[in-house]
Amino acid sequence: MTSRWRAVFRSAPVSPHEPLTLIHPPRGFHDQTLRQVVRVGGAGTRLRVRLGNHYGKDPLIIARLRVAAHRTAAAIVPGTDTAVTFGGAHQVTIPPGREAISDPVDLPTAAGADLVLSSYHAAATGPGDYHPFALRTGYVGPGDAVAHPDLPEPEPVESRFFLTGIDVLGPAGEPVVAAFGDSLTDGVGTTPGTHRRYPDLLARRLHPAGATVLNLGIAGNRLLSDVFGERGTGRFDRDVLAAPGVTHVVVQLGLNDIGLPGMLNEPALPVTDLIGALSALATRARRHGIRPIIATVTPFAGAAGAGPGFDTPEAQSMRRRLNQWIRTNEAYDAVADLDRALRDPAAPAALHPGYDSGDHIHPNDAGAQAIADTVADALLA
């Protein structure tokens, strides 16, 4: 049987110098062990780890890195702890703007398995690449404790740091779906620590087909502006096209391009600009043999929690016009009509009360399930 490397976990990096840091501040580490728990979406016989310093201002030094199976909280399964090397060395220095890929690690993984990445930061890192809404608790402990079975004096952290991905070596031909979007893809509004983000639920739905689903959402992300994470058109090559084995991409972006300009006192973008950007993403995906699926923009009437200016008559009009194009476009293979799946029949501009996390923008666990089902139907069709 032919084997190949394919992505089974991804975490889209965010710069520590952006406004989103007001919600989940970035941080650095010095003489500390960082222990991060992630769930991989596919099985393989070997794995490799990706660490990023895309937005750091100085070289990032990782003194030691180990990977193990997760037991509970900050503890690992004894006997699974394995060293991770880079070019045969335990220490790796990552220049600004770069990413490091580890040597292959002989640690078989199963789809849905939880892994623990323990990194020791001997030198001060300063703020660097991170993912604010990990929705999975990590831990920080003093000194070099990467091989410790249960991290001493663990301090919980709710963001993910430096870790951008995990690949596994496994059977060729299994689908890999990249879920590329904003906070709805990232899982904001769902219950932390329960894996009820829509990409998690989509993975369960597609499990019989052997598919892996990558979560490439960034809360607040936009297609054409760098305010919350690098713009979608800018990060698409790195986050989607460069991920090995991707066969499908689900594009769920546009909501923040419509709502945030009014909230931030910026001029509104023409709908034609959004259409052009979305069309270009589909073209770029096809050039790499990736089948593109697009999602309609979800309802947000009454979104007072986002701040004044988000929900305006002009923004609602833009949403309707963009959705009209999405439903009839010929650039994408299929449409996942999240607007129809999530809206309140009695008030179509608003989320259905049963799907509303409470802020009238972000779906709750039930809403995430409705998104997953709608996306799965579009993929399987």
Beta strand ranges found along 218-298 (DSSP E): 248-252, 291-295
Exposed (0-12), middle (13-18) or buried (19+): which is 311, by Cβ within 10 Å? buried
SS3 324: helix
325, 275 Cβ separation under 8 angstroms: yes
Banded model confidence at residue 1, pLDDT cuts 50, 70, 90: low
Tens digit of pLDDT for each residue in 7-31? 999 999 999 987 655 577 899 999 9
CATH architecture of the domain formed by 175-380: 3-Layer(aba) Sandwich (3.40)
Any bridge partners for residue 83, and if so which?
Answer: 66
What was the pLDDT predicted at 61? 98
Banded model confidence at residue 219, pLDDT cuts 50, 70, 90: very high
Token pair, residue 129, equals: 């690449």
**From CA 107, how far away is CA 109, in angstroms rounded?**
6
Any bridge partners for residue 82, and if so which?
Answer: 67
**Position 252 pLDDT exceeds 90:** yes
- Alpha carbons within 13 A on the beta-carbon side of 71: 12
**Position 305 pLDDT exceeds 70:** no
What was the pLDDT predicted at 306? 65
40, 214 Cβ separation under 8 angstroms: no
Domain assignments of the chain as residue spans, ordered by start: 15-166, 175-380
**From CA 251, how far away is CA 253, in angstroms rounded?**
6
